[in-house]
Amino acid sequence: MKAFLATSVFLFSSMVSAHNIETDQCDVDLDLGIEITKKHIEFSDNKQPVYKIIDNEILLVNDKQVSLTASQQALVKQYSKEIRAVVPQVKDIAVEAVDLAAEGIGIAFTELLGENNGLTDELVAELDAIKVEIETRFNEGERLYIDDNGIEGDVFDPEFEQRIEKAVETTVEQSIGKIMIALGTQMIASGGDSEAFETRMEKFGEQIEKDMEARAEIIEQKADQLCISVKKIDALESEMLDAIPELNNQDVFKVEYKGSKKKMM
């Protein structure tokens, strides 16, 4: 049982680390909050507006429209579009991370309890519900607010992790009888040798890790690309601040990208 639950914990940890932007490879700091809607992108300090870009073109500083040259206008438009382009990247990574967790947990519980055990379906259904929340949160046209504390209403806050853990605990508690029968069956299959059973489950956990590595690597590559995209926004912002004095050198993005690692955490 200990080895089996450890496998589930590993899968959950992999899912959580997969969506995390701030890693050893990528560190993103935001000096202002950013509100993204279908109509505008607004930058604020403690929820007080500093400047706003409307329809990717109109620049307002302290609620006053700034007259822009053609070159300044091009910078503002590109800056706004690049920020918007990051949103679906974040959504894609988050959804794939949940899919990876659902697949791994499904394999683990099916190995222990067999096909059509009900327990697997309950856990995967909970993860599917979380995936729907993610997709809704990042739908085009939905309001999205992000600052240095993360995304407002983020499904990845501490309650997110607790929700996954609670789902696993509750489902296991409700199905403890079925699990004990399955464990007894597995022990009998191992000739009553608890060490042999433990070794078998550990090997199974290692196999799951190996099977998930390819998909996990794809997620990490996308996370690296996301960081590169944000770093591009940072560079574009510096160019825009130099070109538009009305922005008062208000540097929103600070990004440090150290390159990707071959192996996922």
pLDDT tens-place string over residues 145-166: 888 877 776 555 556 566 666 7
- Give the model's pLDDT for residue 64: 95
Residue 53 tokens, joined: 């870009």
pLDDT > 70 in the chain, percent: 70
Residue 45 tokens, joined: 């300090």
Say what the pTM is. Answer: 0.74
Answer yes or no: is 243 within a domain.
yes
Contact 42, 35 (CB under 8 A): yes
The rounded distance, in Å, linking the Cα atoms of 231 and 109 is 41
Answer left, alpha or beta for residue 150, where phi above 0 means left and psi between -120 and 50 means alpha.
left
Residue 178 tokens, joined: 């079925």
Residues with Cβ within 8 Å of 257's Cβ and at least 6 positions away in sequence, in order, are 25, 26, 27, 227, 228, 231
The pairing of beta strand 64-65 with beta strand 58-61: antiparallel
Residue 49's φ and ψ, nearest 5 degrees, are -60, 135
Answer yes or no: is 36 within a domain.
no
Answer yes or no: is 59 within a domain.
no
Answer yes or no: is 257 within a domain.
no
**pLDDT greater than 50 at residue 54:** yes
Nearest of 195, 206, 265, 252 to residue 42 by alpha carbon: 252
* pLDDT tens, residue by residue, 198-211: 776 777 677 777 77
Taking residues 96-123, report their average pLDDT: 76
Computed over every residue of the chain, the mean pLDDT equals 78
**pLDDT greater than 90 at residue 238:** yes
The rounded distance, in Å, linking the Cα atoms of 7 and 184 is 19
**pLDDT greater than 80 at residue 55:** yes
Answer yes or no: is 47 within a domain.
no
Answer yes or no: is 180 within a domain.
yes
Question: Strand pairing partners for 44?
Answer: 33, 49
Residue 129 tokens, joined: 């519900």
Residue 58's φ and ψ, nearest 5 degrees, are -85, 125
Residue 256's φ and ψ, nearest 5 degrees, are -120, 115
Q: Which residue has the higher pLDDT, 110 or 245?
A: 245
- Give the model's pLDDT for residue 3: 42
- Give the model's pLDDT for residue 28: 85
Answer yes or no: is 57 within a domain.
no
Query: What is the domain extent for residue 17?
Result: 2-23+91-143+154-248
Q: How many domains does the chain have?
A: 1
Answer yes or no: is 261 within a domain.
no
The DSSP symbol for 58 reads E
